Structures are given as structure tokens and as C-alpha cells.
């Protein structure tokens, strides 16, 4: 598709894709699919696509760091912040949250070193909460 200014847009994902994050080195694209659970990874070099997590995540409740992906698992009675490690492909629990996150809001962020995680919590007002990750 050619834009009015002459630049070209290229379709990157197939069969749905949203809430994308590019890896820090630009070699992978991480995203969620519209009709398929989990977080997906696409190689920007060869186009290979694969699912790396089967946990359904809300679009604004995950982030990519240099070592892995932090996301909120909302499948249980309380939301859990989990970490998918790029090096060993394992998932570890970071924190169990006392209250659910607002599903329609973005507001999940991770510091570059993964030591601080910010998320939104709503009661009568929206507040930004901090989890310090010392793993």
C-alpha cells in the first residue's frame, strides 16, 4: 500500500495482530492476535511466526524488556504478573496483585532493566502502582 507521501506500508502479520512491541535489537516483533490466544513472535529476518505464551493477555497489560516479556495473567482468581524468560523459555511468577487491572486501559510498563513494573489500579480513581522486581 502506498501512502499519499509516497512511502510504502508492508503487512507484517497475517491472520490478525495488535499491541505490537519490537525487540530492542529489532530482530523480532512480539504481538497478540485478534482471534488466537497468547503472545506471538515473528522474526523480522525470515518471517517465521510462533506462539511463545498461551496465556490470553489484554492489549495494554504486557511489555517487552531486554531479557523477556512481562505480562498479566488474569485467568485465575487474582491477577498475576509473570515473566517469560528469553534465555530459558520458562515462565516465572513476579507478583500476585490484590485487585484486577482495568481491561480497557493501557498502563503496564517495565523499566529497561526489569526491576520496576508499573500498572494501573482503579478504585474511585485511577492510580499508578509500582512493583519492585528483585529476582
In this predicted model, what pLDDT tens digit does every residue of 48-59 receive, in sequence order?
888 887 777 777
Give the chain's domain count. Answer: 1
In a domain, 11, yes or no: no
In a domain, 12, yes or no: no
In a domain, 91, yes or no: yes
In a domain, 6, yes or no: no
In this predicted model, what pLDDT tens digit does every residue of 82-132 receive, in sequence order?
998 888 988 899 999 888 777 666 778 888 788 889 888 877 777 888 888
For the entire predicted model, the pTM comes to 0.78
11 in helix, strand or coil?
coil
Range of the domain at 100: 18-132
The domain that contains 51 carries what CATH number? 2.120.10.30
In a domain, 22, yes or no: yes
Mean pLDDT of 24-34: 83
C-alpha cell at 78: 487474582
Residue 45 burial by CB count (10 A; 0-12/13-18/19+): exposed, middle or buried? exposed
In this predicted model, what pLDDT tens digit does every residue of 40-88 receive, in sequence order?
888 888 888 888 877 777 777 888 888 888 888 888 888 899 998 888 9
Amino acid at each position: 500500500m502506498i501512502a499519499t507521501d509516497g512511502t510504502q506500508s508492508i503487512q507484517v502479520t497475517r491472520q490478525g495482530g495488535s499491541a505490537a512491541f519490537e525487540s530492542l535489537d529489532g530482530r523480532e516483533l512480539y504481538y497478540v492476535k485478534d482471534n488466537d490466544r497468547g503472545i506471538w513472535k515473528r522474526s523480522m529476518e525470515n518471517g517465521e511466526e510462533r506462539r511463545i505464551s498461551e496465556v490470553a493477555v489484554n492489549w495494554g497489560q504486557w511489555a517487552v524488556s531486554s531479557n523477556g516479556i512481562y505480562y498479566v495473567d488474569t485467568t485465575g482468581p487474582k491477577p498475576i504478573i509473570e515473566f517469560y524468560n528469553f534465555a530459558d523459555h520458562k515462565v516465572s511468577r513476579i507478583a500476585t496483585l490484590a485487585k484486577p487491572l482495568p481491561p480497557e486501559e493501557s498502563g503496564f510498563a517495565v523499566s529497561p532493566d526489569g526491576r520496576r513494573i508499573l500498572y494501573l489500579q482503579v478504585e474511585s480513581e485511577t492510580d499508578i502502582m509500582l512493583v519492585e522486581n528483585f529476582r
